[in-house]
Amino acid sequence: MTHNLHPNNLRLGVNIDHVATIRNARGGLHPDPVRAAEIIASVGGDGITAHLREDRRHIRDADIERIMDATDLPLNLEMAATEEMLEIALRHKPHAACIVPEKREERTTEGGLDAAGQHNHLTSYVAKLRDADIRVSLFIEADPRQIEAAMMLGAPVVEFHTGRYAHYGFDGNAAGVESELKRISDAAALAAKNGIEAHAGHGLTFDNVQPIAAIAQIAELNIGHYLIGEAIFLGLEESVRKMRSLMDEAR
Ligand code: PXP
């Protein structure tokens, strides 16, 4: 999402997957992720993120075009590096494609992509997306090896998986939180030094977002489950506004 420069250089991409999860629970049309996208745009969200999974448990194919048509916000389409997803991305040309590892049985994206180990497969995959002017991001662990692989693949963006950071926090493991923060912050500095834009996401909440938002080289946070969960209590507008203001405060 380069074209929407937030004044403090930290964008908020809101992942609307779980609006679709609730819709799908009843098989109808409500709640519509498109309406969520419109609300997010109206309260200053910088982008919409959505994961088209192999099993379509969140958004579905038809949602992509509807979401892209609903607002001017850039769409960051999360997807596994499969031929099916490549064809869909090339057809819709979202602003960005974030390549994530995907296991059918997982509840959510549990770890980063092994960009280093999958180098051969990813080289032509990333090139095809780049040739279509789709901004490619790789969802990786904050690990120098993975950043090096992203450089070799020519990916302009990496997104660091903050799941471990979040989980240490939920478990009250302060030392774990500190060491993860250092790992993410060092990785963001390394990425920036090498001309790669650093994003971060997974498991971020009102309570744990600020130390991540304070990392100067991180340009975008993608946040979903917690924001949609809080929307039940606060409403989506207030949930997004509150996250935005916590991010601004930390910057
Ligand atoms: N970024 C990526 C690449 C993801 O796969 C996810 C989860 O779908 C998120 C961010 C958002 O994570 P959460 O829903 O825990 O905020």
Q: Where are the domains of the chain?
A: 7-250
Is the pLDDT confidence value at 109 over 90?
Answer: no
Is the C-beta atom of 159 inside 6 A of ligand 1? yes
Is the C-beta atom of 139 inside 6 A of ligand 1? yes
pLDDT for the residue numbered 74 = 98
Measured in angstroms, how far is the CA atom of residue 108 from the centroid of ligand 1? Answer: 8
CATH architecture of 7-250: Alpha-Beta Barrel (3.20)
Catalytic machinery residues: 51, 78, 202
Is the C-beta atom of 78 inside 6 A of ligand 1? yes
**Could you give the residue ranges of the DSSP H alpha helices within the chain?**
17-26, 33-42, 61-70, 83-92, 119-131, 144-153, 163-170, 174-193, 209-213, 225-234, 236-250
Per-residue pLDDT of 119-159, as tens digits, reads: 889 999 999 999 999 999 999 999 999 999 999 999 999 99
Judged on CB neighbours under 10 Å (0-12, 13-18, 19+), 35 is middle
For the chain, give the percent of residues with pLDDT over 70: 98
Measured in angstroms, how far is the CA atom of residue 11 from the centroid of ligand 1? Answer: 15
**Residue 43 three-state SS:** coil
